[in-house]
Amino acid sequence: MVTEPGVVARSDGVLTCWYAAEKSLMADYHDREWGRPVREDRRLFEKLALEGFQSGLSWLTILRKRENFRRAFRAFDIEAVARFTRRSVDRLLADAGIVRNRAKIEATINNARRCRSLIDEFGSLAAYVWSFEPDASTHPRLVDRDALMKMTTCPEAIAMSRDLKSRGWAFVGPTTVYAFMQAMGLVNDHIDGCQFGDDVERARARFARPKKKS
Protein backbone atom coordinates (compact mmCIF):
# COMPACT_ATOMS: atom_id res chain seq x y z
CA MET A 1 0.00 0.00 0.00
CA VAL A 2 1.38 3.40 -1.02
CA THR A 3 0.54 6.26 1.33
CA GLU A 4 2.50 9.37 0.28
CA PRO A 5 4.72 9.63 -2.84
CA GLY A 6 7.64 7.32 -2.16
CA VAL A 7 6.35 5.97 1.18
CA VAL A 8 5.21 2.35 1.39
CA ALA A 9 3.52 0.45 4.22
CA ARG A 10 5.17 -2.89 4.98
CA SER A 11 3.11 -5.93 5.87
CA ASP A 12 3.56 -5.08 9.58
CA GLY A 13 2.24 -1.55 9.00
CA VAL A 14 5.61 0.22 9.28
CA LEU A 15 5.92 3.13 6.84
CA THR A 16 9.19 3.24 4.97
CA CYS A 17 10.94 4.62 1.90
CA TRP A 18 9.81 2.73 -1.21
CA TYR A 19 13.16 1.02 -1.88
CA ALA A 20 13.12 -0.61 1.57
CA ALA A 21 9.60 -2.01 1.35
CA GLU A 22 10.56 -5.68 1.42
CA LYS A 23 12.83 -7.50 3.87
CA SER A 24 16.27 -7.42 2.25
CA LEU A 25 19.88 -6.40 2.75
CA MET A 26 18.98 -2.94 1.47
CA ALA A 27 16.04 -2.65 3.86
CA ASP A 28 18.23 -3.61 6.80
CA TYR A 29 20.79 -0.98 5.76
CA HIS A 30 18.02 1.62 5.37
CA ASP A 31 16.52 0.82 8.77
CA ARG A 32 19.68 0.53 10.85
CA GLU A 33 22.30 2.75 9.21
CA TRP A 34 21.32 5.16 6.46
CA GLY A 35 21.12 8.72 7.72
CA ARG A 36 22.11 8.02 11.32
CA PRO A 37 24.89 10.43 12.37
CA VAL A 38 28.39 8.97 12.60
CA ARG A 39 31.52 10.36 14.28
CA GLU A 40 33.88 7.35 14.18
CA ASP A 41 36.76 8.05 11.79
CA ARG A 42 37.04 4.45 10.64
CA ARG A 43 33.39 4.30 9.61
CA LEU A 44 33.58 7.67 7.89
CA PHE A 45 36.66 6.65 5.95
CA GLU A 46 35.08 3.31 5.03
CA LYS A 47 32.01 5.02 3.64
CA LEU A 48 34.04 7.53 1.61
CA ALA A 49 36.06 4.65 0.20
CA LEU A 50 33.03 2.51 -0.62
CA GLU A 51 31.22 5.44 -2.22
CA GLY A 52 34.27 5.79 -4.45
CA PHE A 53 34.09 2.12 -5.36
CA GLN A 54 30.38 2.53 -6.09
CA SER A 55 31.07 5.04 -8.90
CA GLY A 56 29.39 3.59 -11.98
CA LEU A 57 27.76 0.79 -9.95
CA SER A 58 24.77 0.40 -7.63
CA TRP A 59 25.05 0.73 -3.86
CA LEU A 60 23.48 -2.72 -3.50
CA THR A 61 26.42 -4.20 -5.43
CA ILE A 62 28.83 -2.64 -2.94
CA LEU A 63 26.67 -3.52 0.06
CA ARG A 64 26.71 -7.20 -0.92
CA LYS A 65 30.50 -7.07 -1.01
CA ARG A 66 31.00 -4.87 2.07
CA GLU A 67 32.24 -7.60 4.39
CA ASN A 68 34.72 -8.68 1.70
CA PHE A 69 35.91 -5.09 1.39
CA ARG A 70 36.34 -4.89 5.16
CA ARG A 71 38.49 -8.01 5.21
CA ALA A 72 40.53 -6.86 2.21
CA PHE A 73 41.13 -3.35 3.56
CA ARG A 74 41.89 -4.25 7.19
CA ALA A 75 38.49 -3.01 8.39
CA PHE A 76 39.34 0.34 6.78
CA ASP A 77 41.75 1.22 9.55
CA ILE A 78 43.23 4.44 8.16
CA GLU A 79 46.79 3.83 9.35
CA ALA A 80 46.76 0.24 8.13
CA VAL A 81 45.48 1.18 4.66
CA ALA A 82 47.98 4.03 4.43
CA ARG A 83 50.77 1.45 4.78
CA PHE A 84 49.55 -0.67 1.85
CA THR A 85 52.19 -1.28 -0.80
CA ARG A 86 52.35 -2.27 -4.46
CA ARG A 87 52.14 -5.86 -3.30
CA SER A 88 48.93 -4.95 -1.48
CA VAL A 89 47.50 -3.57 -4.71
CA ASP A 90 48.34 -6.83 -6.48
CA ARG A 91 46.65 -8.79 -3.68
CA LEU A 92 43.52 -6.66 -3.97
CA LEU A 93 43.39 -6.96 -7.75
CA ALA A 94 43.34 -10.74 -7.31
CA ASP A 95 40.50 -10.63 -4.74
CA ALA A 96 37.27 -11.64 -6.50
CA GLY A 97 35.25 -10.62 -3.45
CA ILE A 98 35.69 -6.90 -4.06
CA VAL A 99 35.49 -4.54 -7.04
CA ARG A 100 38.82 -5.12 -8.78
CA ASN A 101 39.43 -1.68 -10.20
CA ARG A 102 43.05 -0.54 -9.99
CA ALA A 103 42.26 3.18 -10.03
CA LYS A 104 39.76 2.86 -7.18
CA ILE A 105 42.04 0.62 -5.14
CA GLU A 106 44.98 2.98 -5.53
CA ALA A 107 42.73 5.95 -4.75
CA THR A 108 41.64 4.34 -1.46
CA ILE A 109 45.25 3.84 -0.40
CA ASN A 110 46.16 7.36 -1.49
CA ASN A 111 43.18 8.80 0.38
CA ALA A 112 44.18 6.99 3.58
CA ARG A 113 47.61 8.59 3.36
CA ARG A 114 46.10 12.01 2.71
CA CYS A 115 43.68 11.46 5.56
CA ARG A 116 46.52 11.32 8.08
CA SER A 117 47.51 14.94 7.45
CA LEU A 118 43.87 15.99 7.53
CA ILE A 119 43.51 14.35 10.96
CA ASP A 120 46.66 16.11 12.13
CA GLU A 121 45.09 19.42 11.14
CA PHE A 122 41.53 18.93 12.39
CA GLY A 123 42.03 16.40 15.18
CA SER A 124 39.81 13.83 13.47
CA LEU A 125 38.26 13.01 10.14
CA ALA A 126 34.91 13.49 11.87
CA ALA A 127 35.68 17.10 12.79
CA TYR A 128 36.61 17.80 9.18
CA VAL A 129 33.55 16.09 7.70
CA TRP A 130 31.03 17.66 10.06
CA SER A 131 32.40 21.14 9.37
CA PHE A 132 30.61 20.77 6.01
CA GLU A 133 27.21 19.88 7.47
CA PRO A 134 24.55 21.70 5.45
CA ASP A 135 22.36 24.22 7.24
CA ALA A 136 19.08 22.44 7.94
CA SER A 137 17.16 25.55 6.83
CA THR A 138 18.43 25.03 3.27
CA HIS A 139 17.04 21.48 3.10
CA PRO A 140 13.86 21.07 1.02
CA ARG A 141 10.75 21.39 3.17
CA LEU A 142 9.20 18.31 1.58
CA VAL A 143 11.21 15.28 0.48
CA ASP A 144 9.18 12.90 -1.65
CA ARG A 145 10.39 10.34 -4.16
CA ASP A 146 10.66 12.78 -7.05
CA ALA A 147 12.53 15.33 -4.96
CA LEU A 148 14.95 12.72 -3.61
CA MET A 149 15.80 11.46 -7.08
CA LYS A 150 16.82 14.99 -8.05
CA MET A 151 18.93 15.60 -4.91
CA THR A 152 22.34 14.50 -6.16
CA THR A 153 24.48 17.16 -4.51
CA CYS A 154 24.40 20.45 -2.59
CA PRO A 155 26.71 23.48 -2.16
CA GLU A 156 28.37 21.96 0.91
CA ALA A 157 29.05 18.66 -0.87
CA ILE A 158 30.56 20.60 -3.77
CA ALA A 159 32.72 22.56 -1.34
CA MET A 160 33.89 19.42 0.46
CA SER A 161 34.63 17.70 -2.84
CA ARG A 162 36.72 20.62 -4.02
CA ASP A 163 38.59 20.82 -0.74
CA LEU A 164 39.35 17.10 -0.66
CA LYS A 165 40.59 17.22 -4.25
CA SER A 166 42.81 20.18 -3.38
CA ARG A 167 44.31 17.98 -0.65
CA GLY A 168 45.07 15.23 -3.17
CA TRP A 169 42.10 12.92 -2.62
CA ALA A 170 40.59 11.00 -5.54
CA PHE A 171 37.13 9.60 -6.36
CA VAL A 172 35.46 12.24 -4.20
CA GLY A 173 33.24 14.07 -6.69
CA PRO A 174 30.25 16.14 -5.51
CA THR A 175 27.74 13.33 -6.12
CA THR A 176 29.90 10.85 -4.22
CA VAL A 177 30.30 13.28 -1.33
CA TYR A 178 26.57 14.00 -1.16
CA ALA A 179 25.75 10.28 -1.05
CA PHE A 180 28.28 10.04 1.79
CA MET A 181 26.54 12.92 3.60
CA GLN A 182 23.17 11.22 3.23
CA ALA A 183 24.49 7.95 4.62
CA MET A 184 26.47 9.42 7.52
CA GLY A 185 23.68 11.65 8.82
CA LEU A 186 24.85 15.09 7.71
CA VAL A 187 21.44 15.37 6.03
CA ASN A 188 18.22 13.44 6.57
CA ASP A 189 16.93 12.38 3.17
CA HIS A 190 14.43 9.76 4.24
CA ILE A 191 11.13 10.35 2.46
CA ASP A 192 8.64 12.43 4.45
CA GLY A 193 6.43 9.93 6.27
CA CYS A 194 9.11 7.24 6.59
CA GLN A 195 9.14 6.23 10.25
CA PHE A 196 12.88 5.64 10.16
CA GLY A 197 13.35 9.22 9.02
CA ASP A 198 11.75 10.32 12.30
CA ASP A 199 14.25 8.13 14.18
CA VAL A 200 17.10 9.71 12.23
CA GLU A 201 15.88 13.22 13.02
CA ARG A 202 15.81 12.44 16.73
CA ALA A 203 19.32 10.95 16.51
CA ARG A 204 20.56 14.06 14.72
CA ALA A 205 19.04 16.26 17.42
CA ARG A 206 20.92 14.32 20.13
CA PHE A 207 24.19 14.08 18.20
CA ALA A 208 27.18 16.01 19.55
CA ARG A 209 28.96 17.47 16.53
CA PRO A 210 32.73 16.88 16.66
CA LYS A 211 34.82 20.05 16.74
CA LYS A 212 38.14 20.96 15.14
CA LYS A 213 41.03 20.79 17.57
CA SER A 214 42.06 24.16 18.98
The pLDDT tens digits along the chain (214 residues) read 445 679 999 988 899 999 999 889 999 999 999 999 999 999 999 999 999 999 999 999 999 999 999 999 999 999 999 999 999 999 999 999 999 999 999 999 999 999 999 999 999 999 999 999 999 888 887 888 888 988 899 999 999 999 999 999 999 999 999 999 999 999 999 999 999 999 999 999 999 999 988 7
Helices 102-122 and 86-93, interaxial angle, to 10°? 130
Q: Which residues of 24-48 are buried (b: 16+ CB within 10 A; e: fewer)?
A: eebbebbbeebbbbbbebebbbbbb
Q: Which of 33, 59, 106, 133 is catalytic?
A: 59
> Of 18, 19, 29, 133, which one is the catalytic site residue?
29
Confirm whether 4 is a catalytic residue: no
Note whether 158 and 180 are within 8 A (CB).
no
Question: Could you tell me the sign of the dihedral formed by the alpha carbons of 134, 190, 158, 99, in that order?
Answer: positive
Let me know if 133 is a catalytic residue. Answer: no
**128 has catalytic annotation:** no
Helix or strand or coil: residue 83?
coil
